[in-house]
Amino acid sequence: MEIRKRLSALIVDDESLARENLKFMLEEFCPEIEVIGVAGGVDEARQKIESLRPQVVFLDIRMPSGAEGFELLESIEKKAFQVVFVTAFKDYAIEALNANAIHYLLKPIDIEDLQYAVSKLVDYQQSFAESDANLNLYLQSMRELTSNMLDRRKPAKLTLFHSKGFNIINTVDIVRLEADGGCSAFFFVDGSKYLDTKTLKTYEDLLDPERFIRIHKSHILNLDHLKEYSSQDGHFAIMTDGSSVPIARARLSEFLTQAKKLG
């Protein structure tokens, strides 16, 4: 049986108890990880990243009171490591992390969540070993996330992770989204389709509400690609790709209000 080298990790958190707790959990329950250092602040973290060169950084982010974690990443020119964000906040931070297919853990940390995150780290690292393109896409996604979080914009790009690597897409290229069980199907301007494992609710919260509107429990559309509205035999949005999307009666008023703002 082949023995794989463990991933080296640095833990960054301003609370000593939190640092020690995560270190204990990784050593006790995640044999794939070797903790090679801890840091209590941005300056110490920057120094240890440069000297220890970890493959993984578990990075505490304090949102929305500050963006220290993202400022740390912004200050490091060459990021040759994966990041697992650790946060106690469930709103904007999680939306942005989901958009970029980046690993994160919610405090208090659950052992199974930690083990799942570590399994994804291993998968990502393997994909990096197989293709430099996968690593470059990950780093691009990290830059996009850092920029979004520092200026608080809704993301103009999404990173969708799949078994062979990543897809980074421009949100302007999305015509519509449709629920497919607990997943979300993306339909793009070039006629392609992509099935993502996140729910439609995730993308309803994430995408720009001025452009993307939920018109049905199973449908979100991009108003930039709305071609026509029809009330024949129901209520339907006709999109530029030729698709006809049903509009729920309860959402019709909001749809019409938003559609009239176009121009």
**CA angle at 89 for the pair 88 and 92, rounded to the nearest 5°:** 155
The CA distance from 77 to 224, in Å, is: 36
Same domain, 185 and 149: no
Same domain, 120 and 16: yes
Q: How far is CA 49 from CA 7, 83, 109, 137, in A?
A: 14, 12, 23, 21
Reduced to 3 states (helix: H, G, I; strand: E, B; else coil), residue 188 is strand
Decide if pLDDT at 257 tops 80: yes
In this structure, is residue 163 part of a structural domain? no
Q: What is the pLDDT of residues 181-191, one digit of tens each?
A: 989 999 999 99
Cβ contact 166:137 at 8 Å = yes
Same domain, 29 and 128: yes
Q: What is the pLDDT of residues 79-135, one digit of tens each?
A: 889 999 888 766 555 666 666 667 888 888 999 999 999 999 999 999 998 988 888
Cβ contact 58:86 at 8 Å = yes
Containing structural domain, residue 132? 7-153
Q: What is the pLDDT of residues 190-223, one digit of tens each?
A: 999 999 888 898 888 878 887 899 999 999 999 9
The CA distance from 136 to 126, in Å, is: 14
Same domain, 16 and 126: yes
Q: What is the pLDDT of residues 4-37, one digit of tens each?
A: 479 999 999 988 888 999 999 999 999 999 999 9
CATH number for the domain harbouring residue 246: 2.40.50.1020
Same domain, 193 and 111: no
The structural domain count of the chain equals: 2
In this structure, is residue 161 part of a structural domain? no
The model's confidence at residue 155, banded by pLDDT at 50, 70 and 90, is low
CATH number for the domain harbouring residue 31: 3.40.50.2300
What's the predicted TM-score (pTM) here? 0.58
**CA angle at 163 for the pair 161 and 165, rounded to the nearest 5°:** 55
The CA distance from 63 to 70, in Å, is: 10
Q: Any idea how long the chain is?
A: 263
* The two structure tokens encoding residue 256: 């019409």
Query: Which of 157, 182, 178 lies closest to 169 in space, CA to CA?
Result: 157
DSSP tag of 163: T
